[in-house]
Structure 1
Protein backbone atom coordinates (compact mmCIF):
# COMPACT_ATOMS: atom_id res chain seq x y z
CA UNK A 1 0.00 0.00 0.00
CA UNK A 2 1.27 3.47 -0.91
CA UNK A 3 2.24 5.54 2.13
CA UNK A 4 1.36 9.23 1.95
CA UNK A 5 2.75 12.38 3.56
CA UNK A 6 1.40 15.92 3.47
CA UNK A 7 4.08 18.60 3.68
CA UNK A 8 3.04 22.19 4.38
CA UNK A 9 5.66 24.74 3.33
CA UNK A 10 5.53 28.46 4.07
CA UNK A 11 7.69 31.57 3.92
CA UNK A 12 9.28 32.25 7.30
CA UNK A 13 7.74 35.08 9.32
CA UNK A 14 7.32 35.63 13.04
CA UNK A 15 4.03 33.69 13.08
CA UNK A 16 4.36 31.35 10.09
CA UNK A 17 5.50 28.20 11.91
CA UNK A 18 2.70 28.51 14.46
CA UNK A 19 0.14 28.92 11.68
CA UNK A 20 1.48 25.95 9.73
CA UNK A 21 1.57 23.72 12.80
CA UNK A 22 -2.03 24.62 13.68
CA UNK A 23 -3.23 23.44 10.27
CA UNK A 24 -0.90 20.43 10.36
CA UNK A 25 -2.22 19.33 13.77
CA UNK A 26 -5.84 19.58 12.63
CA UNK A 27 -5.16 17.58 9.48
CA UNK A 28 -3.17 14.96 11.38
CA UNK A 29 -6.10 14.50 13.79
CA UNK A 30 -8.36 13.95 10.79
CA UNK A 31 -6.07 11.16 9.63
CA UNK A 32 -5.91 12.51 6.07
CA UNK A 33 -2.49 10.88 5.47
CA UNK A 34 -0.02 8.80 7.46
CA UNK A 35 2.13 11.82 8.30
CA UNK A 36 1.74 15.61 8.21
CA UNK A 37 4.77 17.88 8.49
CA UNK A 38 5.39 21.64 8.28
CA UNK A 39 8.52 23.57 7.34
CA UNK A 40 9.46 27.16 6.54
CA UNK A 41 12.18 28.84 4.52
CA UNK A 42 13.42 32.42 4.66
CA UNK A 43 14.65 33.24 1.16
CA UNK A 44 16.20 30.29 -0.72
CA UNK A 45 14.13 27.09 -0.69
CA UNK A 46 16.80 24.93 -2.35
CA UNK A 47 19.61 25.90 -0.01
CA UNK A 48 17.53 26.00 3.17
CA UNK A 49 15.27 22.98 2.69
CA UNK A 50 17.50 20.47 0.88
CA UNK A 51 18.49 18.44 3.95
CA UNK A 52 15.01 18.50 5.45
CA UNK A 53 13.34 17.44 2.21
CA UNK A 54 15.64 14.44 1.85
CA UNK A 55 14.32 13.12 5.17
CA UNK A 56 10.60 13.43 4.33
CA UNK A 57 9.02 9.94 4.43
CA UNK A 58 6.29 8.56 2.21
CA UNK A 59 5.94 6.91 -1.18
CA UNK A 60 3.83 9.86 -2.29
CA UNK A 61 4.39 13.33 -0.83
CA UNK A 62 1.75 16.03 -1.29
CA UNK A 63 3.49 19.39 -1.03
CA UNK A 64 1.28 22.36 -0.20
CA UNK A 65 2.75 25.87 -0.58
CA UNK A 66 0.79 27.56 2.19
CA UNK A 67 0.16 30.94 0.59
CA UNK A 68 -2.82 32.50 -1.12
CA UNK A 69 -1.27 32.59 -4.60
CA UNK A 70 1.90 31.61 -6.38
CA UNK A 71 4.99 33.74 -5.85
CA UNK A 72 8.39 33.82 -7.54
CA UNK A 73 9.63 31.24 -5.01
CA UNK A 74 6.70 28.85 -5.45
CA UNK A 75 7.11 28.70 -9.23
CA UNK A 76 10.91 28.58 -9.28
CA UNK A 77 12.89 27.80 -6.14
CA UNK A 78 10.39 25.64 -4.28
CA UNK A 79 9.55 23.19 -7.10
CA UNK A 80 13.29 22.94 -7.80
CA UNK A 81 13.92 22.07 -4.15
CA UNK A 82 11.31 19.30 -4.31
CA UNK A 83 13.67 17.27 -6.51
CA UNK A 84 15.37 16.29 -3.23
CA UNK A 85 12.24 14.48 -1.98
CA UNK A 86 12.71 10.73 -2.33
CA UNK A 87 9.02 9.92 -2.84
CA UNK A 88 6.75 10.85 -5.73
CA UNK A 89 5.89 14.54 -5.37
CA UNK A 90 2.39 15.86 -5.94
CA UNK A 91 2.74 19.65 -5.90
CA UNK A 92 -0.46 21.40 -4.82
CA UNK A 93 -2.09 24.65 -5.87
CA UNK A 94 -1.99 27.45 -3.26
CA UNK A 95 -5.12 27.49 -1.11
CA UNK A 96 -6.14 31.03 -2.06
CA UNK A 97 -8.16 29.74 -5.00
CA UNK A 98 -10.43 27.56 -2.88
CA UNK A 99 -14.04 28.88 -2.60
CA UNK A 100 -13.87 28.40 1.19
CA UNK A 101 -11.46 31.34 1.32
CA UNK A 102 -14.30 33.60 0.19
CA UNK A 103 -16.19 32.54 3.31
CA UNK A 104 -13.15 33.28 5.48
CA UNK A 105 -12.97 36.78 3.99
CA UNK A 106 -16.63 37.37 4.82
CA UNK A 107 -16.20 36.16 8.39
CA UNK A 108 -13.10 38.30 8.93
CA UNK A 109 -14.92 41.35 7.54
CA UNK A 110 -18.11 40.84 9.57
CA UNK A 111 -16.03 40.60 12.74
CA UNK A 112 -15.53 44.35 12.18
CA UNK A 113 -18.63 45.55 10.31
CA UNK A 114 -21.81 43.70 9.41
CA UNK A 115 -22.32 43.41 5.65
CA UNK A 116 -24.91 45.68 4.06
CA UNK A 117 -25.50 47.92 1.04
CA UNK A 118 -24.04 50.85 2.98
CA UNK A 119 -20.73 49.03 3.59
CA UNK A 120 -17.80 48.68 1.17
CA UNK A 121 -15.39 45.74 1.26
CA UNK A 122 -11.74 46.11 0.26
CA UNK A 123 -9.47 43.15 -0.43
CA UNK A 124 -5.78 43.91 0.09
CA UNK A 125 -3.37 41.65 -1.78
CA UNK A 126 0.39 41.72 -2.05
CA UNK A 127 0.41 41.97 -5.83
CA UNK A 128 3.34 41.75 -8.22
CA UNK A 129 4.87 43.98 -10.85
CA UNK A 130 5.47 41.00 -13.16
CA UNK A 131 3.33 38.00 -12.13
CA UNK A 132 -0.49 37.83 -12.46
CA UNK A 133 -1.21 35.29 -9.72
CA UNK A 134 -2.14 37.57 -6.81
CA UNK A 135 -4.31 39.85 -8.93
CA UNK A 136 -6.15 36.89 -10.47
CA UNK A 137 -6.80 35.37 -7.05
CA UNK A 138 -8.00 38.67 -5.55
CA UNK A 139 -10.33 39.36 -8.47
CA UNK A 140 -11.72 35.82 -8.25
CA UNK A 141 -12.85 36.44 -4.68
CA UNK A 142 -13.97 40.00 -5.41
CA UNK A 143 -16.30 38.67 -8.11
CA UNK A 144 -17.72 36.00 -5.81
CA UNK A 145 -18.25 38.58 -3.06
CA UNK A 146 -20.01 41.02 -5.39
CA UNK A 147 -22.36 38.27 -6.55
CA UNK A 148 -22.95 36.49 -3.26
CA UNK A 149 -22.90 39.04 -0.43
CA UNK A 150 -24.78 42.16 0.65
CA UNK A 151 -21.80 44.54 0.43
CA UNK A 152 -22.54 47.73 -1.47
CA UNK A 153 -19.32 47.40 -3.43
CA UNK A 154 -16.18 45.27 -3.40
CA UNK A 155 -12.74 46.39 -4.55
CA UNK A 156 -9.25 44.88 -4.66
CA UNK A 157 -6.04 46.82 -4.10
CA UNK A 158 -2.39 45.87 -3.67
CA UNK A 159 0.86 46.66 -1.91
CA UNK A 160 3.15 46.59 -4.93
CA UNK A 161 0.92 47.23 -7.93
CA UNK A 162 -2.02 49.37 -8.95
CA UNK A 163 -4.62 50.02 -7.76
CA UNK A 164 -2.61 50.91 -4.66
CA UNK A 165 -3.96 50.71 -1.10
CA UNK A 166 -4.03 54.48 -0.59
CA UNK A 167 -6.32 54.78 -3.62
CA UNK A 168 -8.99 52.56 -2.05
CA UNK A 169 -10.80 55.52 -0.49
CA UNK A 170 -11.43 56.96 -3.97
CA UNK A 171 -12.83 53.66 -5.28
CA UNK A 172 -15.33 52.88 -2.52
CA UNK A 173 -18.82 54.38 -2.58
CA UNK A 174 -19.66 54.21 1.15
CA UNK A 175 -18.46 55.98 4.27
CA UNK A 176 -18.31 52.66 6.12
CA UNK A 177 -15.72 50.23 4.80
CA UNK A 178 -13.62 47.29 5.94
CA UNK A 179 -10.39 45.90 4.47
CA UNK A 180 -9.34 42.24 4.63
CA UNK A 181 -5.65 41.40 4.01
CA UNK A 182 -5.30 38.43 1.65
CA UNK A 183 -2.45 36.94 3.66
CA UNK A 184 -2.32 33.70 5.64
CA UNK A 185 -0.27 34.99 8.54
CA UNK A 186 0.78 38.18 10.24
CA UNK A 187 3.95 39.62 8.75
CA UNK A 188 5.65 42.96 8.27
CA UNK A 189 3.18 43.82 5.52
CA UNK A 190 0.05 43.12 7.59
CA UNK A 191 1.38 44.60 10.83
CA UNK A 192 2.96 47.79 9.50
CA UNK A 193 2.80 48.55 5.79
CA UNK A 194 -0.91 47.95 5.17
CA UNK A 195 -2.16 49.64 8.39
CA UNK A 196 0.04 52.68 7.69
CA UNK A 197 -1.40 53.07 4.21
CA UNK A 198 -4.98 52.47 5.36
CA UNK A 199 -4.81 54.84 8.33
CA UNK A 200 -5.56 58.06 6.38
CA UNK A 201 -8.53 56.39 4.65
CA UNK A 202 -10.57 55.61 7.78
CA UNK A 203 -11.19 52.07 6.51
CA UNK A 204 -11.50 49.39 9.21
CA UNK A 205 -8.91 46.60 9.09
CA UNK A 206 -9.14 42.90 9.96
CA UNK A 207 -6.82 40.05 10.86
CA UNK A 208 -5.28 37.90 8.07
CA UNK A 209 -6.95 34.64 7.05
CA UNK A 210 -4.54 32.77 9.31
CA UNK A 211 -5.60 29.75 11.33
CA UNK A 212 -9.30 29.94 10.50
CA UNK A 213 -10.73 26.38 10.36
CA UNK A 214 -11.99 26.98 6.81
CA UNK A 215 -8.38 27.48 5.70
CA UNK A 216 -7.67 24.00 7.05
CA UNK A 217 -10.67 22.75 5.07
CA UNK A 218 -9.25 24.41 1.94
CA UNK A 219 -5.92 22.61 2.43
CA UNK A 220 -7.76 19.32 2.92
CA UNK A 221 -9.81 19.90 -0.25
CA UNK A 222 -6.67 20.56 -2.28
CA UNK A 223 -5.14 17.35 -0.95
CA UNK A 224 -8.17 15.37 -2.08
CA UNK A 225 -8.05 17.03 -5.50
CA UNK A 226 -4.40 16.08 -5.87
CA UNK A 227 -5.21 12.49 -4.92
CA UNK A 228 -7.50 12.32 -7.94
CA UNK A 229 -4.91 13.93 -10.21
CA UNK A 230 -2.25 11.50 -8.99
CA UNK A 231 -4.09 8.59 -10.62
CA UNK A 232 -3.23 9.74 -14.15
CA UNK A 233 -0.67 11.92 -15.87
CA UNK A 234 -1.48 15.45 -14.75
CA UNK A 235 -1.07 18.45 -17.06
CA UNK A 236 -1.75 20.93 -14.24
CA UNK A 237 0.48 23.99 -13.88
CA UNK A 238 1.98 22.68 -10.63
CA UNK A 239 2.81 19.31 -12.19
CA UNK A 240 4.67 21.07 -14.99
CA UNK A 241 6.63 23.08 -12.43
CA UNK A 242 7.97 20.02 -10.61
CA UNK A 243 8.75 18.37 -13.94
CA UNK A 244 10.80 21.29 -15.29
CA UNK A 245 12.36 23.15 -12.34
CA UNK A 246 15.67 21.81 -11.05
CA UNK A 247 18.46 23.15 -8.81
CA UNK A 248 21.15 24.88 -10.85
CA UNK A 249 24.48 23.07 -10.57
CA UNK A 250 26.45 26.16 -11.59
CA UNK A 251 25.16 27.91 -8.46
CA UNK A 252 26.37 25.07 -6.28
CA UNK A 253 22.79 23.94 -5.65
CA UNK A 254 22.50 21.00 -8.02
CA UNK A 255 21.92 17.43 -6.82
CA UNK A 256 24.91 15.94 -5.04
Structure 2
Protein backbone atom coordinates (compact mmCIF):
# COMPACT_ATOMS: atom_id res chain seq x y z
CA UNK A 1 0.00 0.00 0.00
CA UNK A 2 2.88 2.39 0.76
CA UNK A 3 5.17 1.28 -2.03
CA UNK A 4 6.98 4.35 -3.35
CA UNK A 5 5.95 6.44 -0.32
CA UNK A 6 8.79 7.95 1.73
CA UNK A 7 6.90 10.20 4.17
CA UNK A 8 3.32 10.71 5.31
CA UNK A 9 1.33 13.68 6.62
CA UNK A 10 -2.21 13.98 7.94
CA UNK A 11 -4.44 16.18 10.04
CA UNK A 12 -7.21 15.85 12.61
CA UNK A 13 -9.77 18.61 13.08
CA UNK A 14 -10.03 19.80 16.68
CA UNK A 15 -13.18 21.55 17.84
CA UNK A 16 -11.68 22.91 21.08
CA UNK A 17 -8.91 24.78 19.24
CA UNK A 18 -9.91 27.99 17.42
CA UNK A 19 -9.79 27.93 13.64
CA UNK A 20 -6.51 29.45 12.53
CA UNK A 21 -4.39 27.57 15.06
CA UNK A 22 -2.34 24.41 14.53
CA UNK A 23 -1.16 21.93 17.16
CA UNK A 24 1.57 19.30 16.84
CA UNK A 25 4.15 17.51 18.95
CA UNK A 26 7.21 15.35 18.25
CA UNK A 27 7.15 11.73 19.38
CA UNK A 28 4.06 10.05 20.88
CA UNK A 29 0.98 12.13 20.08
CA UNK A 30 -2.03 9.81 20.40
CA UNK A 31 -2.40 6.51 22.24
CA UNK A 32 -2.99 2.97 21.10
CA UNK A 33 -6.68 2.27 21.77
CA UNK A 34 -7.87 -1.33 22.15
CA UNK A 35 -11.49 -2.32 22.79
CA UNK A 36 -12.43 -5.32 24.91
CA UNK A 37 -15.57 -7.19 25.97
CA UNK A 38 -15.60 -9.16 29.23
CA UNK A 39 -18.16 -11.97 29.44
CA UNK A 40 -19.11 -13.08 32.95
CA UNK A 41 -20.87 -16.35 33.73
CA UNK A 42 -22.54 -17.03 37.05
CA UNK A 43 -25.71 -18.80 38.15
CA UNK A 44 -29.12 -17.18 38.18
CA UNK A 45 -31.24 -17.11 41.31
CA UNK A 46 -34.14 -15.37 43.01
CA UNK A 47 -33.15 -12.11 44.73
CA UNK A 48 -34.55 -13.48 47.99
CA UNK A 49 -32.18 -16.47 47.84
CA UNK A 50 -28.79 -15.11 46.67
CA UNK A 51 -26.98 -18.06 48.26
CA UNK A 52 -28.49 -20.29 45.57
CA UNK A 53 -26.81 -18.35 42.78
CA UNK A 54 -23.55 -16.78 41.65
CA UNK A 55 -24.23 -13.06 41.32
CA UNK A 56 -22.73 -11.63 38.13
CA UNK A 57 -23.75 -8.08 39.09
CA UNK A 58 -21.62 -8.27 42.23
CA UNK A 59 -18.90 -9.99 40.22
CA UNK A 60 -18.96 -7.18 37.65
CA UNK A 61 -18.80 -4.52 40.37
CA UNK A 62 -15.67 -6.08 41.89
CA UNK A 63 -14.03 -6.36 38.47
CA UNK A 64 -14.79 -2.74 37.50
CA UNK A 65 -13.17 -1.45 40.69
CA UNK A 66 -10.22 -3.85 40.57
CA UNK A 67 -9.37 -2.96 36.96
CA UNK A 68 -8.40 0.53 38.09
CA UNK A 69 -5.63 -0.95 40.23
CA UNK A 70 -3.89 -2.08 37.04
CA UNK A 71 -3.05 1.58 36.40
CA UNK A 72 -2.80 2.95 39.94
CA UNK A 73 -0.82 0.05 41.47
CA UNK A 74 0.74 -2.01 38.66
CA UNK A 75 1.85 0.68 36.21
CA UNK A 76 4.92 2.87 36.67
CA UNK A 77 3.55 6.31 37.68
CA UNK A 78 5.68 8.06 35.05
CA UNK A 79 4.06 6.00 32.30
CA UNK A 80 0.57 6.57 30.95
CA UNK A 81 -2.37 4.18 30.65
CA UNK A 82 -6.15 4.40 30.89
CA UNK A 83 -8.57 1.52 31.49
CA UNK A 84 -12.21 2.52 31.04
CA UNK A 85 -15.36 0.44 31.45
CA UNK A 86 -18.02 2.19 29.38
CA UNK A 87 -20.83 -0.39 29.33
CA UNK A 88 -22.23 -2.75 31.97
CA UNK A 89 -25.05 -5.08 30.93
CA UNK A 90 -26.78 -7.64 33.15
CA UNK A 91 -30.32 -8.93 33.53
CA UNK A 92 -33.49 -8.16 31.61
CA UNK A 93 -34.92 -5.43 33.81
CA UNK A 94 -36.48 -7.54 36.56
CA UNK A 95 -36.20 -6.32 40.16
CA UNK A 96 -36.01 -9.75 41.75
CA UNK A 97 -33.82 -11.93 39.52
CA UNK A 98 -30.06 -12.31 39.92
CA UNK A 99 -28.80 -12.61 36.33
CA UNK A 100 -26.58 -15.51 35.38
CA UNK A 101 -24.56 -13.51 32.84
CA UNK A 102 -23.10 -10.03 32.55
CA UNK A 103 -21.10 -8.17 29.93
CA UNK A 104 -18.56 -5.38 30.44
CA UNK A 105 -17.25 -3.32 27.53
CA UNK A 106 -14.33 -0.94 27.67
CA UNK A 107 -11.06 0.30 26.25
CA UNK A 108 -7.38 0.14 27.10
CA UNK A 109 -5.21 3.09 26.06
CA UNK A 110 -1.42 3.11 26.17
CA UNK A 111 1.64 4.57 24.44
CA UNK A 112 4.27 1.87 24.96
CA UNK A 113 3.94 -1.53 23.20
CA UNK A 114 5.30 -3.46 26.20
CA UNK A 115 2.84 -1.83 28.59
CA UNK A 116 0.02 -2.41 26.13
CA UNK A 117 0.79 -6.12 25.91
CA UNK A 118 1.14 -6.53 29.67
CA UNK A 119 -2.12 -4.75 30.52
CA UNK A 120 -4.04 -6.74 27.91
CA UNK A 121 -2.85 -9.90 29.63
CA UNK A 122 -3.54 -8.56 33.12
CA UNK A 123 -7.10 -7.46 32.33
CA UNK A 124 -7.93 -11.04 31.38
CA UNK A 125 -6.09 -12.51 34.39
CA UNK A 126 -7.74 -10.16 36.87
CA UNK A 127 -11.27 -10.69 35.54
CA UNK A 128 -10.85 -14.46 35.40
CA UNK A 129 -9.36 -14.58 38.89
CA UNK A 130 -12.15 -12.54 40.49
CA UNK A 131 -14.84 -14.48 38.66
CA UNK A 132 -13.34 -17.82 39.73
CA UNK A 133 -12.99 -16.65 43.34
CA UNK A 134 -16.71 -15.82 43.38
CA UNK A 135 -17.72 -19.16 41.87
CA UNK A 136 -18.14 -18.04 38.27
CA UNK A 137 -16.05 -17.66 35.15
CA UNK A 138 -14.96 -14.93 32.76
CA UNK A 139 -13.42 -14.61 29.33
CA UNK A 140 -12.37 -11.63 27.27
CA UNK A 141 -12.73 -10.72 23.60
CA UNK A 142 -10.28 -8.17 22.22
CA UNK A 143 -10.75 -5.84 19.28
CA UNK A 144 -7.21 -4.51 18.87
CA UNK A 145 -6.94 -0.96 17.62
CA UNK A 146 -4.07 0.84 15.96
CA UNK A 147 -0.75 1.39 17.75
CA UNK A 148 0.20 4.77 19.18
CA UNK A 149 0.55 7.75 16.84
CA UNK A 150 4.25 8.69 16.92
CA UNK A 151 5.45 11.73 14.97
CA UNK A 152 8.95 11.95 13.53
CA UNK A 153 10.79 14.74 15.43
CA UNK A 154 12.76 15.98 12.41
CA UNK A 155 9.68 16.16 10.19
CA UNK A 156 7.69 17.85 12.97
CA UNK A 157 10.28 20.61 13.04
CA UNK A 158 10.01 21.03 9.27
CA UNK A 159 6.21 21.06 9.47
CA UNK A 160 6.28 23.72 12.19
CA UNK A 161 8.30 26.01 9.93
CA UNK A 162 5.81 25.50 7.10
CA UNK A 163 2.86 26.11 9.42
CA UNK A 164 4.37 29.32 10.78
CA UNK A 165 4.52 30.67 7.23
CA UNK A 166 0.79 29.99 6.89
CA UNK A 167 -0.72 30.91 10.29
CA UNK A 168 2.12 32.85 11.92
CA UNK A 169 4.38 31.88 14.79
CA UNK A 170 1.70 32.51 17.43
CA UNK A 171 -0.68 30.16 15.66
CA UNK A 172 1.56 27.07 15.92
CA UNK A 173 1.32 25.33 19.28
CA UNK A 174 3.18 22.35 20.72
CA UNK A 175 0.37 20.36 22.29
CA UNK A 176 0.47 17.62 24.95
CA UNK A 177 -0.21 13.99 23.99
CA UNK A 178 -3.80 12.74 24.21
CA UNK A 179 -5.18 9.30 25.03
CA UNK A 180 -7.47 9.19 22.02
CA UNK A 181 -6.44 6.82 19.24
CA UNK A 182 -6.28 7.14 15.46
CA UNK A 183 -5.52 4.73 12.63
CA UNK A 184 -3.09 7.27 11.16
CA UNK A 185 -0.74 5.30 13.40
CA UNK A 186 -0.76 2.48 10.85
CA UNK A 187 0.89 4.80 8.31
CA UNK A 188 3.31 6.34 10.82
CA UNK A 189 4.26 2.86 11.99
CA UNK A 190 5.53 2.16 8.48
CA UNK A 191 6.84 5.52 7.29
CA UNK A 192 8.14 8.66 9.07
CA UNK A 193 5.68 11.50 9.09
CA UNK A 194 3.54 14.05 10.92
CA UNK A 195 -0.03 14.02 12.19
CA UNK A 196 -1.20 17.43 13.39
CA UNK A 197 -4.26 19.03 14.96
CA UNK A 198 -6.08 21.66 12.91
CA UNK A 199 -8.13 24.11 14.94
CA UNK A 200 -11.76 24.22 13.82
CA UNK A 201 -13.51 25.82 16.78
CA UNK A 202 -14.94 29.23 17.52
CA UNK A 203 -12.76 32.08 18.87
CA UNK A 204 -15.18 32.07 21.84
CA UNK A 205 -14.27 29.02 23.99
CA UNK A 206 -17.72 28.91 25.62
CA UNK A 207 -19.25 28.07 22.22
CA UNK A 208 -17.01 25.06 21.59
CA UNK A 209 -17.89 21.47 22.45
CA UNK A 210 -15.62 18.39 22.46
CA UNK A 211 -15.78 15.69 19.83
CA UNK A 212 -18.67 13.22 20.32
CA UNK A 213 -20.66 15.87 22.23
CA UNK A 214 -24.25 16.33 20.96
CA UNK A 215 -23.51 20.03 20.48
CA UNK A 216 -20.34 19.38 18.44
CA UNK A 217 -19.68 22.08 15.86
CA UNK A 218 -16.75 23.09 13.65
CA UNK A 219 -16.01 26.19 11.60
CA UNK A 220 -15.46 24.23 8.40
CA UNK A 221 -15.48 27.30 6.15
CA UNK A 222 -12.36 28.62 7.88
CA UNK A 223 -10.66 25.37 8.84
CA UNK A 224 -10.89 23.25 5.69
CA UNK A 225 -9.21 25.66 3.23
CA UNK A 226 -6.44 26.18 5.77
CA UNK A 227 -6.03 22.43 6.15
CA UNK A 228 -5.69 21.98 2.39
CA UNK A 229 -3.04 24.71 2.22
CA UNK A 230 -1.06 23.20 5.09
CA UNK A 231 -1.13 19.72 3.57
CA UNK A 232 -0.08 20.93 0.12
CA UNK A 233 2.74 23.12 1.44
CA UNK A 234 3.99 20.34 3.72
CA UNK A 235 4.04 17.80 0.90
CA UNK A 236 5.99 20.21 -1.29
CA UNK A 237 8.47 20.78 1.54
CA UNK A 238 8.88 17.03 2.11
CA UNK A 239 9.58 16.54 -1.61
CA UNK A 240 12.61 18.84 -1.48
TM-score (norm 1): 0.26
Highest RCO, 1 vs 2 (Cα 8 Å, sep ≥ 6): 2
- Bigger proportion of residues as strand: 2
Q: Which has the larger radius of gyration?
A: 2
- Bigger proportion of residues as helix: 1
